[in-house]
Structure 1
Amino acid sequence: MSALPLPDALIIGLYWLLALLCCAFAAVAGGKSGRTGAAMIFTASVASVLGAQFGNWGQPHIPVMTIDLILLAGFYWLALRSESYWPIWATGFHLISVISHVAMFFSEEVRQALYFAFGAFWSLPVMMIMVIGIVRDRTMQWRES
């Protein structure tokens, strides 16, 4: 296995730093919804790394698509049960990522790097909206008390 080029390694390192910070914040400050969302995001991230070892990004990546579909169902379930609004936004952003998998069934022309990047990109807004939503929820709770 060859080493990753520096820009790829840096991007992956920054992703994991952001994931750890966002999930830790959500677990500490986000109540039950935050802890559940953080666990789902972190578990799906680890599972995606493992799933990415199987399959090919030049066609629909079935292992990662399956993980993303399970995560989408989890966000939908969380959105239905949470009093917070951020799980609704997270579900919507993650739905875009799932659609990137579906698009691969209809287009053989999409480049591997574009498919991977498009699917991976939407994890960033999901994590950011989780943190922003939790901060807003806590601010509203503080103002009401």
Structure 2
Amino acid sequence: MTIALPPWLGLAVMFVVCSCAFIRGGLEERLAAGSMLINVTATQVLRDYSWPQVQPAGFIADVLSLVLLLVIALRTAKYWPLAAAAFQLLMVLTHVAKMIDPDLGQWSYVSAIVIWTYLKMIALGVGVWNCWRAWPYAPSGEALRAETRR
């Protein structure tokens, strides 16, 4: 008996969170959702199934996502991008650990990447939820930005 989650579940959750981000999220949420979708697509399309080591396309996509999330986190008054950038940094460091120690188990490596991805989706989901709650008061976060400038 296995307790593994079905592979389609992560994609379904990502689709729901990213769809909600595009519908009701602010600019930051939309950028992060677009980055997440591009990252997953590039990782899946450019994957080399015959090579058990770090996938270069996935590593590059994760580094670019980290840069975007850091820029978002440093330019906004919202808190969720800090968590998302931290989880993305952990994902990049997991790739680096696999590069440093190729004997690191493949199951451990892939499991860590999946866990950081789920946690990043949760952080984005919290950001979308907060935008959704503030929708009548502060669409796209403009009122929040104006309030923090005072």
TM bracket (short chain): 0.7 to 0.9
TM-score (norm 1): 0.81
- Which segments of structure 1 move beyond 4 Å, counting only runs of 4 or more? 140-145
Identity %: 22
Asked if 1:39 corresponds to 2:51, the answer is no
Size of the aligned set, in residue pairs, is 137
Say which is worse superposed, 75-84 or 35-44, in terms of deviation: 75-84
Q: Is the 8 A contact 2:81 2:124 kept in 1?
A: yes
> What root-mean-square deviation, in Å, do the aligned CA atoms of Structure 1 and Structure 2 show?
2.4
Aligned to 1:84: 78
Aligned to 1:13: 8
TM-score (norm 2): 0.79
1:37-86: CA deviation from partner (whole Å, max 9, x where unpaired): 111111111111112236623x3322211111111111112212233221
Name structure 1 gaps, 5 residues minimum: 1-6
Which secondary structure state, in structure 2, belongs to the residue aligned with residue 122 of structure 1?
A: helix
Aligned to 1:94: 88
Q: Aligned in 2, Cα 1:82/1:100: closer, same or farther, shift over 3 Å?
A: same
Say which is worse superposed, 128-137 or 86-95, in terms of deviation: 128-137
What is the rounded CA distance, in whole Å, between the counterparts of 2:16 and 2:92 in structure 1?
A: 24
Measured after TM superposition, the shift of residue 88 of structure 1 is 1.3
Q: Aligned in 2, Cα 1:130/1:71: closer, same or farther, shift over 3 Å?
A: same
